[in-house]
């Protein structure tokens, strides 16, 4: 029985990997000589998740177990005033992002695991806003909370991004309930949500007018989106999300679209058994890109500044599983090259482009690193 299961696992992985190799460029290992190095900007953060710059030497970092740090000139101070959060498994204090008009209103947004008084046991992902003054939060307000609660520890999401039209997007994973949540627009989980900056529902959200739907939902059929960014030239929101064993994806988000999980996937169960026998279906979106085997993607950004030789407009994605930063070169709407950056650096949780044009990388157990070109 054990040998039969192993044989099935290897056959399924070989089939998927063959497909991936036909359509995907091979991953280039980091060369012996590279034209960049890195500096540690701040250390002593176990699981740095969210990262948002207030100014060039002033930024916010979330630590998953429940601390929001403000880092000024490399010195970190805990920020007071967070609501009590629910920490379980992959959940805790997750992303942080600044209001597009932060300089005028000092407003920030953050996502976290939450259990509200009077609710059933467990928790789910919630989105909050607050004002920050120095290291104090005030006017803390919950804008959205996914329901129902669950004691499961997996697939909370969660990332935050803003489009160019004044909308906020955030992600919630399927919360370990793939059979009910992702494909049902009446339920939270496995979704990308879109709100106005004040937390209200945009009138043109795709399911407004559907009394049975969660009208904050923008797209569905997602598994666990832990990377989100806006393509600077098109303004479109891109996400990356964890697949099961194989089938991590990059998706370009379109309102009202179904991204397929778990009806279609390029992955299989961790036990080696198939989830489904199809990778495409009418009415369901194909990923822009997928990984087989899985890399455990987390965090994602485009390099736009020209600070680095040959990296402008490239996409960067962190790998939790293989502990490197991946550079993806996109031409003619297709990934044409993949390369490891900072190989074996540790579990890369996030990557963003700072106001100075440099890439900043959040690495578990290390803190925040800055990639610096060699002179």
Residues annotated as catalytic are 155
How far is it, in rounded angstroms, from Cα 168 to Cα 90? 23
**Which phi and psi angles does 56 have, rounded to 5°?**
-60, -40
Q: Cis bond leading into 293, ω under 30°?
A: yes
* Strand, helix or coil for residue 331: strand
How many C-beta atoms lie closer than 10 Å to residue 278's C-beta? 12
Residues 6+ apart with CB under 8 A from 257: 219, 221, 285
Separation in Å, CA 173 to CA 41, 91, 188: 30, 10, 9
How far is it, in rounded angstroms, from Cα 374 to Cα 84? 44
CA angle 203, 140, 238 (to 5 degrees): 50
DSSP string, 64-106: TTTEEEEEETTEEEEPB-PPP---BTTBSEEEEEE-TTHHHH-
> In a 10 Å sphere around its CB, with 0-12 CB exposed, 13-18 middle and 19+ buried, how is residue 123 labelled?
buried
How far is it, in rounded angstroms, from Cα 250 to Cα 109? 24
How far is it, in rounded angstroms, from Cα 262 to Cα 183? 8
CA 215, distance to chain mean position in Å, is 22
* Strand, helix or coil for residue 132: strand
Q: Are 225 and 239 in contact (CB under 8 A)?
A: yes
């Amino acid at each position: 029985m054990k040998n039969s299961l192993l044989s099935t696992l290897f056959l399924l992985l070989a089939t998927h990997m063959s497909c991936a190799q036909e359509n995907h460029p091979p991953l280039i290992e980091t060369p012996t000589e590279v034209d960049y190095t890195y500096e540690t900007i701040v250390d002593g953060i176990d699981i740095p998740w969210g990262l948002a710059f207030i100014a060039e030497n002033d930024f916010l970092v979330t630590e998953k177990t429940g601390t929001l740090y403000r880092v000024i000139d490399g010195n970190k101070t805990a920020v007071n005033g967070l609501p009590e959060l629910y920490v379980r498994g992959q959940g805790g204090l997750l992303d942080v992002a600044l209001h597009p008009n932060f300089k005028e209103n000092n407003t920030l947004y953050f996502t976290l695991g939450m259990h509200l008084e009077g609710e059933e046991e467990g928790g789910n992902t919630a989105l909050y806003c607050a004002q920050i003054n120095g290291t104090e939060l005030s006017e803390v307000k919950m804008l959205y909370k996914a329901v129902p609660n669950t004691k499961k520890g997996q697939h909370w999401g969660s990332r935050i991004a803003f489009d160019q039209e004044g909308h906020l997007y955030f992600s919630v994973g399927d919360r370990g309930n793939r059979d009910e949540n992702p494909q049902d627009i009446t339920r939270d989980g496995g979704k990308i949500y879109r709100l106005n900056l004040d937390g209200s529902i945009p009138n043109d959200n795709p399911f407004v007018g559907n009394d049975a739907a969660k009208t904050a939902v923008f797209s569905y059929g997602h598994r666990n989106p832990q990377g989100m960014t806006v393509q600077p030239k098109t303004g479109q929101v891109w996400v990356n999300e964890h697949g099961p064993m194989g089938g991590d994806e990059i998706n370009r988000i379109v309102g009202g679209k179904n991204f397929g999980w778990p009806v279609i996937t390029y992955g299989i169960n961790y036990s080696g058994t198939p989830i489904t026998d199809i990778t495409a279906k009418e009415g369901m979106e194909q990923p822009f890109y997928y990984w087989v085997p899985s890399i455990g993607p987390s965090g994602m950004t485009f390099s736009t500044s020209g600070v680095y030789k040959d990296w402008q407009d490239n996409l960067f994605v962190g790998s939790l599983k293989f502990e490197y930063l991946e550079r993806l070169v996109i031409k003619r709407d297709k990934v044409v090259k993949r390369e490891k950056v900072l190989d074996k650096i540790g579990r890369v949780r996030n990557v963003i482009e700072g106001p100075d044009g440099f890439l900043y990388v959040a690495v578990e157990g290390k803190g925040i690193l800055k990639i610096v070109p060699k002179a």
